[in-house]
Amino acid sequence: MPATPAAAEAFSSKSAAGPPTRPATERSGPWAPPPDQLRRVVPQPQRGWLRVTALLLVAGLAVLAGFQTYQINQLTDRLSEADQRLAQAQGADADRFDLVESRTADLERQVGAAFDPESIAAAALPSVFRVSAGRFTGTAFAVGEPDAGGTDLLTNYHVIEAGYLAGSRRVFLERDGERVEASIAAVDADSDVALLRTSESYAGLMAANDGVKAGQQIVVVGAPLGLVDTVTIGVVSALREADDGSGPVLQFDAPINAGNSGGPVINSSTQVVGIATAKARDAEGIGLAVPMQVACAAFDIC
């Protein structure tokens, strides 16, 4: 069929300008805009969630930092308490150590005060001599510290009495084969004590400071029957008044014999408590001594 002018125009238009466009009134199928009229829709980021996440992270870090600070403070407090406990423990240890030292010193003093006849004799013997006064002998012992002029010694008056009354003031001190001259410096006949003096220097025994008590253990050193360095031991039996009223007398039970007169009666501290004077006749274990304080008062040498 031959084309009509309208058809020819439409055909001509299609061939010249490309495919024909659908008329606006035609609704034969779905319509889509031309490609040059389409725009891509890109999703926008969710910034609100980022802020929330950041705030939560900051809050978590703050909580963690606070917890760590709390733990550090707790640890610091515990360390401080531990230091205080350690200091207190060290103080307590120091107190206990001082107490132990004090108790040790007390024990040492007690041990030192324990009765040891061997040690007492060893310390006393170098100070004790046989004294020879004419045809009489007895015992004498150095007392106190020697000085530039020599040494003081004590003995009984009745040991040197015969020579002294005869006008002699010279006696001799004997021990270890040595014979040393001494002089009679002073006497107290009523107390039965005499003070001797020698130019030689000897270590002296010290007078006891404490009072004498019954039961106290003692060592007696002397030269009975001329036997130098004789040691006997016993106890103080009593402190009595002499029958003749001459003063106090120390009674003890250590064996003594003629020649012990003038020898020291020594306590556990190696201090002289008396001067052996006599023994009871027809009896055993009854020795008598002049208290050391009597001699000290008579000659003012202690």
Give the residue numbers annotated as catalytic, written as ranges.
158, 192, 261
DSSP string, 111-167: HHHS--HHHHHHHHGGGEEEEEETTEEEEEEEEEEEETTEEEEEE-HHHHHHHHHTT
- SS3 of 99, please? helix
d(CA 295, CA 140): 13
Beta bridge partners of 133: 136
Q: Are 195 and 139 in contact (CB under 8 A)?
A: no
Task: Compute the distance between CA of residue 252 and CA of residue 145 in angstroms, rounded to an integer.
Answer: 27
CA distances from 273 to 61, 129, 249, 300 (A): 90, 18, 11, 16
Indicate the burial class of 243 (C-beta count within 10 angstroms; 0-12, 13-18, 19 or more). Answer: exposed
In the block, tokens 């009871």 appear at 280
Residue 179 contacts by C-beta under 8 Å, 6 or more apart in sequence?
Answer: 172, 173
Classify residue 287 as left (phi > 0), alpha (psi -120 to 50) or beta: beta
Which residue's structure tokens are 């106090």? 248
* Largest Cα–Cα separation, the chain: 204
Q: Return the H-helix or E-strand segment holding 217.
A: strand 217-222
Chain length of the chain: 302
